[in-house]
Each structure stands twice: as C-alpha cells, then as structure tokens.
Amino acid sequence: MRRLTVMTAADPAPTAADHARTPVLIGLDWGTSALRAWLFDAAGTALARLTGGPGVMAVPPDGFRAAFEAFCAPWLAAHPGLPVLAAGMVGSRQGWREAPYAHAPAGFGEIAAGLIALDDDAGRVLRLVPGVRAEGRQGSIDVMRGEETQVFGALAARSVLQSADAAHRDGLFVLPGTHSKWVEMRAGRIVALRTYLTGETWAVLRQHSILGRLAADPPADDASAQAGAAEAFDRGVRLGLASPGELLHLLFLVRTEGLFDRLRPTQTPAFLSGLLTGAEVADALVWSGREMAPTLIGDDAQAARYARALALAGVIGRAAPADCTAQGLFAIARAAGLAPHPPASSSR
Amino acid sequence: MRRLTVMTAADPAPTAADHARTPVLIGLDWGTSALRAWLFDAAGTALARLTGGPGVMAVPPDGFRAAFEAFCAPWLAAHPGLPVLAAGMVGSRQGWREAPYAHAPAGFGEIAAGLIALDDDAGRVLRLVPGVRAEGRQGSIDVMRGEETQVFGALAARSVLQSADAAHRDGLFVLPGTHSKWVEMRAGRIVALRTYLTGETWAVLRQHSILGRLAADPPADDASAQAGAAEAFDRGVRLGLASPGELLHLLFLVRTEGLFDRLRPTQTPAFLSGLLTGAEVADALVWSGREMAPTLIGDDAQAARYARALALAGVIGRAAPADCTAQGLFAIARAAGLAPHPPASSSR
C-alpha cells in the first residue's frame, strides 16, 4: 500500500524561492515495520511524501532494491538521477546492507563520513545512514539506528530557531518507543545514549502475562474511563519514580490492586505503563544529571505520556518539531554534499 | 494422569510407632497448574503420594469435587471418612471456593481459624487453607496462596530441629518462582511478605520479546555451554545487584551484548535470568534488612540459582527440607484439630 501526499501551502514555505519546487533528493525512513519517503527541494522542503511502504522485516534479503524502486517508482520515473539517502534498520544486518555504527562522539561530520554507498545500483547515488554506538559505564555498549537521524533533525530545527553556533547545540533528547532512547548531545555531537526496554516490556506483559488478563483498553469515547486511566498512569509513575529499584515488586501491584478493586480493568494498562515509564524516567534523570531540559521526539500520545512523567518528576520537557526524521535526512544529506547548502547560512 | 507412590523405608521414619501406618488425613496441594496429594499417618509421615492431577485452570468451575474424588478415589474407597485439607489456588476466586486471606500477622492459630469448610460435601470434613495478605508500605497489599503452607512446613521442620520455643521461630523465607515471594516470620507468625514478578517477566521476555530471538537453551550434556551459561548468570546477577533501578536499561544489554558477540545465544537466557534475579535480590535484601539468613524453599535448580545470587550479594542462604508443602499441610491440620498432636510435644 502506497499513499502519496502532495504538500500544500500549509507546509513550511521554502526559505529560498529560487530553490523551490525542483526536487534534489529522495529521503527514506526505512524501519523494522514501515517505510516512508520524502521528495525534497533544495531548501529542504518536502514537495511530496509517501507512506505505508514495507518494513525491513517484510522484505526478503535480496529484495530491497526492488522494494525501493517499486515504492518510489513515480519519483524515479519523473526525476531520474536524484540522490537517495536512507536511514533506519535498512542499514542493519537484517536490512539492505549493514552500515557499521558511527562511534560517539558523532556529529554531522562523523555521520556523513560513515555513510555506506550502494554504488552497485546502476549509477544511482544511494547512501545508508550509519547508526551510532556509544560506550556506557563499565564498558557496555549502547546503540541506535534511525533515532540519530531524528535527533539531528530536531537539532537542525533548533539551530535555526535559536543559534547557528555549534557551541550552543547541546541537548538532551528523549525518543519514547519499543526501545526508548535518551540521547545527550554536546556541541552538535551525540556523546552518550541510553536505551530502555520499556515499551517492549509493557507490550509483552500486557499481552502475555497474568497482568494482562484483568486488563481492558478504556474506550476512546468514554471520558470517565479515559480520566480513570490517566489517574492510574499518574499513580504508577509516582511509584516508579519513587522506587525504580523495586520495579519487579511494583509489577505485582498491578495484580493486587486489581484483586482488591483499587484498579479497574480499564486502568490496568495505564497503571502498568506508568510504573515502567516512572522507573525509566527516574533512572534516566540520574543518568543525565538533570542538567538540560529534555526534548521529546515521537508521536503525540507517547510524547505526552513522557512529558507527564517528566512533569511528575519536576522536569519540564518540550516537544520537538514534527517530522524530525525528514529534517534529519535532509540535514545529513547537506552535510554529506548530497544536497545543496542554503545560500546564506553557515550551517555545517 | 495419576501417579501413585508408596513410600518406602527411605522416607522419614515415624516418630511414634503406634501411630504409624494408619491414615488419618488426606492433604492436597492444588495449584494453578497441578494437583498433588498425600496420605498421612498420625505422626505426619506420608504413607503414599499422588502426583499429576489437574491444576485449577484445567478444572471447570463446578467440577472440583468430581476432580478431587476421581484423583483420590483409591484412598477414599479404602479409608472413607478421612478429613481432607487443601492448600493453594483451589481456595482462590478461580478455585473450588474462595477462602478469604488471613491477615498478617498470621501464625498457625490464625490460619487454622481461617480454614474454609466445604460442609456440603456429603458429610466429609474438607477444609481449604486461606492465603495470607499483608499490608506493605504506603498501604499497598501483598498476598500469597499456597506459599504460606510451604513456609509453615519449613517452620515445623525447623522447630523440630532447633527449638520448639515459639519465640525462636523467626525466619526469612524465599520462594522463587513465577511470582517469587519473600516472607518474614516473627515468633511463628508471618508478619510481612513481598512478591516479585521475576519468573513471569523472564518467561515473557524470553518467549515473546526481541531478547528471545537470539536466545537458545544450552544443551544439558554440553558442559562447556553449561559453564558459559553459569558465567553469564553471574554476570547478570552482579549488574542487577549493583543497579536494580537500571533494570529496564540493563534488559537492553541482553541485546547489545549479543550484537557485539559478548554473549552467546546459549548464554542469553541465563544472563537475562541473572539480571532479573539480581535486581530482585538487591531490593529484597534492602526490604528485609539483611538481618536473618534466608531459607530457600523451592525446586533444586531454582533454589540453587537464588542461593548463588544471594552468595554474590554476600548472603548465605540455606535450603529448606524437601516437601515443605506436605509438612505444612500436616502441621496446619494439627493446629486445626484435623490431625492428632504428637504424644509428647508442646507444638502448637
């Protein structure tokens, strides 16, 4: 299934009119379960967007080129020779080709230098964005693949808004999800990252453990049930924040609170989510030192849950601009010389 | 499937020869997934044992009496009128009848007073052991059902070995499992308990999460793989013990350590188990105050894993006698007047 969106006047206006409307780059966000694509003009504005393509898990090992060419066929036919930049799990062992992780500290320069070229593609310029790896404490290694592009997109947007000075490109970024990532950036380079299995732990406990048996999703049109779920989320967050080291015990509370009618079935998934999110946020704030206000990158509902958990911890988070991935792809393409720099900017 | 075991001379000898060999009680351990039964003489010696009966989940709501009578048919035919005492989830909402939890502090007296009588059973004396509930900090409630009988069995055995003085019946008991329980006893009464979802979390992550995809069980006959798994368990325990509040992050290490070939597939399940067990033990030792040496109740392999985790935390655990459940059933029956007291004992 391919959905084509042609951008309208409501989208961000081109910053340089003479660059506008002429495509210069195709960007791909090719993750485990989905493929999206953008057609960019020279100002980084998306002229068109495709969604609903097959994720990496749905493509056979030798089928990536065919899947890409089928998905982007109209663009490739209308604009032959455009360079292509792809980010996400397409660069993993299970993807088109493995793009070795760039080592932290990693900024635009390191990412651009780490692009993998698929030169065998009939003369087409197609590059894969590497993931980023960072050493944790005690020698452990943490990794991301795809999220680095979102972080650079948020950074590019922020630098436009605030300062083009690299020294001010510091930030703490939170990317909630199946494997949520906390990313610390200093002077425009990713210096540290930390992954939590929060989303996946929630999902497997919800679906496969005894905790899920008493759980029900609150109906979207039942305001009372929604409010009850929000209250249960808060209650869970407070417990997780206060005692992250008790998490395996707190999880059993999901059962006992239900057993003694202190938690309704429609509150159970939210309470469980709150416990896990609270435990994650408690640890991540210790890890990050509470020095920088976190920027939340993700879909609205997830970002709102994390913003709430942060608020209960006394921390104000801010939301990243929408479509960080598209902005990040274009910013990396610029850094790698695949797309032109803006006429009057020192942006690296 | 019913398996009948007739006890041999290798079993504990009767303490009073004149009581021996005449059955006085049928004891049932009727849990979620299994049913076992013992035929006791007046000294508490098991004359025979049945295993392999249907668990609570396998019995229809109105089928418990029939399931019991079918399972114990030979005993009921040979010894009509024997009293029956049953412990476990058979006394839950999903069981034969709900036996309300006894409130901590709960000793033999409170448990005996809380027995539920199924008097409708055609004149047969059949009693259900209540579970125990205890208030946790901040008003939370923790519960167990079945484990209290094991703890009282371990206590009965200890009191024989050490002292019959109630004032010395203190102990910390650890019951590893799907939902592992830590139970604190003072002067012969359960005063506090704490449940951890450790075993179930391990199982759902092993079976349903990305962590399980790279995992393989070490072959039982491969000593090298077994040693590697033991090493990985220790490594996981140390991480969990050191940083229980980082658990959701540590879980992602299972993936990255595999990704960078620091963990073999046959080490993965043990490493995951170590992380979770370490996090549980770290918190439980804080909760219990490290005041008493824990007694481990459970099957040999599980008890050995917990003993190892405790040792890595600097705590020496000891193993409970085998068949604590049978001993507990008989001790509770005595306290309730369903079985005779020993001729020369002050045991309550």
Residue in B closest to A181 by C-alpha: B249
A112 and A203 housed in the same domain: no
3-class secondary structure for chain A?
CCEEEECCCCCCCCCCHHHCCCEEEEEEEECCCEEEEEEEECCCCEEEEEEEEECHHHCCCCCHHHHHHHHCHHHHHHCCCCCEEEECHHHCCCCCCCCCCEECCECHHHHHHCCEECCCCCCCCEEECCCEEEECHHHCEEEECCHHHHHHHHHHHHHHHCCCCHHHCCEEEEECCCCEEEEEEECCEEEEEEEECHHHHHHHHHHHCHHHHCCCCCCCCCHHHHHHHHHHHHHHHHHHHHCHHHHHHHHHHHHHHHHCCCCCHHHHHHHHHHHHHHHHHHHHHHHHCCCCCEEECCCHHHHHHHHHHHHHCCCCCEECCCCHHHHHHHHHHHHCCCCCCCCCCCCC
Query: Would you say residue A205 has pLDDT above 60?
Result: yes
Give B91-102 pLDDT, tens digit per residue: 999 999 999 999
Mean predicted confidence (pLDDT) in A26-38: 96
The answer to whether position B83 is within a domain reads yes
A244 and A312 housed in the same domain: yes
For residue A181, give how far its alpha carbon lies from the nearest alpha carbon of chain B (Å). Answer: 10
B290 and B312 housed in the same domain: yes
Comparing CB atoms, the residue among B142, B198, B204 nearest residue A248 is: B198
Where residue A293 sits, what CATH number does that domain have? Answer: 3.30.420.310
Q: Given this model, what pLDDT does residue A169 score?
A: 79
Q: Given this model, what pLDDT does residue B6 score?
A: 52
Mean predicted confidence (pLDDT) in A295-306: 93
A243 and A328 housed in the same domain: no
Q: Given this model, what pLDDT does residue B247 score?
A: 98
B19 and B124 housed in the same domain: yes
Comparing CB atoms, the residue among B252, B256, B283 nearest residue A246 is: B283
Q: Which residues of A touch B32 (CB under 8 A)?
A: none
The answer to whether position A272 is within a domain reads yes
The answer to whether position A121 is within a domain reads yes
Task: Tell which wins on pLDDT, A158 or B64.
Answer: B64
Give A69-112 pLDDT, tens digit per residue: 999 999 999 998 899 999 999 999 999 999 999 999 999 999 99
Number of Cβ pairs < 8 A linking chain A and chain B: 112
Where residue A22 sits, what CATH number does that domain have? Answer: 3.30.420.300
* Interchain contact, B200 vs A207, CB within 8 Å: no
A309 and A328 housed in the same domain: no
Q: Given this model, what pLDDT does residue A9 score?
A: 39
- Point out the residues of chain B with pLDDT beneath 70: 1-20, 121, 158-168, 344-348
Q: Given this model, what pLDDT does residue B20 score?
A: 60
A130 and A218 housed in the same domain: no
Q: Given this model, what pLDDT does residue B168 score?
A: 61
The answer to whether position A96 is within a domain reads yes
pTM of the model: 0.91
Residue in A closest to B93 by C-alpha: A259
The answer to whether position A340 is within a domain reads no
Give B169-225 pLDDT, tens digit per residue: 789 999 999 999 999 999 999 999 999 999 999 999 999 999 998 899 999 999 999
Q: Which has the minimum average pLDDT: A35-49, A215-229, A285-299, B301-315? A: A285-299
A203 and A111 housed in the same domain: no
Q: Which residues of B touch A252 (CB under 8 A)?
A: 142, 179, 195-197
- Residue A273's alpha-carbon distances to A166, A198, A212, A232, B75, in angstroms, are 37, 8, 12, 9, 50
The answer to whether position A280 is within a domain reads yes
B330 and B312 housed in the same domain: no
Q: Which of A113-127, A164-178, B162-176, B188-202 has the highest mean pLDDT?
A: B188-202
Q: Given this model, what pLDDT does residue A172 score?
A: 95
Task: Tell which wins on pLDDT, B3 or A31.
Answer: A31
The A-side interface with B (CB below 8 A) comprises: 140-143, 179, 194-198, 200-201, 204-205, 207-211, 244-249, 251-253, 256-257, 259-260, 276, 279-280, 282-283, 286
The answer to whether position A163 is within a domain reads no
Contacts (Cβ under 8 Å, ≥6 apart) of B340: B19, B24, B42, B334
| B174, B252, B254, B272, best to mutate vs chain A, most A CBs in 10 Å | B252
Q: Given this model, what pLDDT does residue A4 score?
A: 59
Task: Tell which wins on pLDDT, B296 or A321.
Answer: B296
A346 torsion bin: left (phi>0), alpha (psi -120 to 50), beta (else): alpha
Domain hosting B234: range is 198-316
For residue A324, give how far its alpha carbon lies from the nearest alpha carbon of chain B (Å). Answer: 25
Q: Given this model, what pLDDT does residue B159 score?
A: 56
Cα torsion angle, B134, B136, B139, B145, sign: negative
Comparing CB atoms, the residue among A208, A256, A283 nearest residue B246 is: A283
A124 and A12 housed in the same domain: yes
Q: Which residues of A touch B210 (CB under 8 A)?
A: 200
The answer to whether position B130 is within a domain reads yes
The number of folded domains in chain A is: 2
Comparing C-alpha atoms, which of B4, B13, B94, B14 is closest to residue B50?
Answer: B4
B25 and B143 housed in the same domain: yes
Question: What residues does A196 pair with on adjacent strands?
Answer: A180
B213 and B246 housed in the same domain: yes
* Interchain contact, B248 vs A209, CB within 8 Å: no
Separation between Cα atoms, residue B240 and residue B229, nearest integer Å: 16
Residue in B closest to A193 by C-alpha: B249
Q: Which residues of B touch A208 (CB under 8 A)?
A: 204, 207-208
